[in-house]
Structure 1
Amino acid sequence: MQKRMVKMRNYKIRAHHGLCLAFFKGEGYSSDFVNNMKEVIEKLSEDPIITITTSLDDICISCPNSKDGICESIDKVNRYDNLVLKQCGLECGETMLWSEFQNKVFTKIIAAGKMDTICRDCEWSYICFES
């Protein structure tokens, strides 16, 4: 396991993107964003080490709300990130396998019925709440 972890790239993932990735259905802000999201999902399927962040990540790079390295919705997404970190008992900057983070997001938020307390005002929440 250690050899595999050394060879793989460490991906940066915003805390709230753990929820977005769990419910992604091919919709998004733009075709570039959707294509990047699909690529990130494919890479994460290899279970790489990720660093949980509250700043721009590997998903944000294709988001039209990211201007000059700053998210135009920073207050809202910071709130989402901080709530996910709190629910999962994590801190910004922690590293772990993608599967470990997925499991925490699922058990502590999705299965626990806490999504509504985190992202009910997200423009994409209708996708998640339909699932």
Structure 2
Amino acid sequence: MYRLRGHHIFCLLGYRGMGYSKKYVENMTRLHHTLRKHPETLVQLVNGPDQLCENYPNSGEYHCQDDHIYQMDASFLEKIGLKIGQTLKWADIESHIQNHVIPSDIQSVCKTCSWRSYGFCEDGIQLILDGKGLKEIK
């Protein structure tokens, strides 16, 4: 089982093998690969730092405890109709995304994200909407 905070669900949709450090990328890629290959994997939705935050680099500002990050988490979970404390299969999270999200939502729910400008997240949402799951990372 993996522990994930709200906004990291959306980060996984747009993930393309880039990140804050080598260690962070390795961890994110491992999680992404597991969820892609095994959508029955259980995910617990947590309030605050999760297993991705554990590998956030120590160089620079640690934003995982910032109030605006907690607000983003809450907004994402509300958007997809889920709550902190729930444990469900990744496939069920994808179903919630299919029922509650469209690609253009990224422009509003992720408006402060520095990764938004790449356009990967809209593509990731479309893959979920098309029933293709997470994009393969090589």
Tell me if TM exceeds 0.5: yes
TM-score (norm 1): 0.78
Q: Is the 8 A contact 2:10 2:121 kept in 1?
A: no
Secondary structure, aligned partner of 2:16: coil
Q: Larger RCO: Structure 1 or Structure 2 (Cα < 8 Å, ≥ 6 residues apart)? A: 2
Q: Is the 8 A contact 1:51 1:95 kept in 2?
A: yes
Q: Is the 8 A contact 2:49 2:64 kept in 1?
A: no
* Structure 1 segments of 4+ aligned residues over 4 angstroms from their partners: 70-73
Structure 1 gap segments, 5+ residues each: 1-9
Alignment correspondent of 1:96: 88
Match of 2:111 among 100, 120, 123: 120
* TM-fit CA distance, 1:121: 1.0
CA distance in 1, matches of 2:110, 2:58: 17
CA distance in 2, matches of 1:12, 1:40: 10
Secondary structure, aligned partner of 1:25: coil
* TM-fit CA distance, 1:92: 0.3
Match of 2:77 among 76, 85, 89: 85
TM-score (norm 2): 0.74
**CA pair 73-124 structure 1, distance change in 2 beyond 3 A:** farther
Q: Is the 8 A contact 2:42 2:89 kept in 1?
A: yes
Amino acid across the alignment from 2:51: D
CA distance in 2, matches of 1:116, 1:21: 16
Q: Is the 8 A contact 1:18 1:105 kept in 2?
A: no
Q: Is the 8 A contact 1:49 1:97 kept in 2?
A: yes
The total of aligned residue pairs comes to: 119
Alignment correspondent of 1:31: 22
Q: Percent identity?
A: 26
Amino acid across the alignment from 1:90: L
CA distance in 2, matches of 1:105, 1:28: 23
* Structure (1/2) with the larger strand percentage: 1
Secondary structure, aligned partner of 1:41: helix
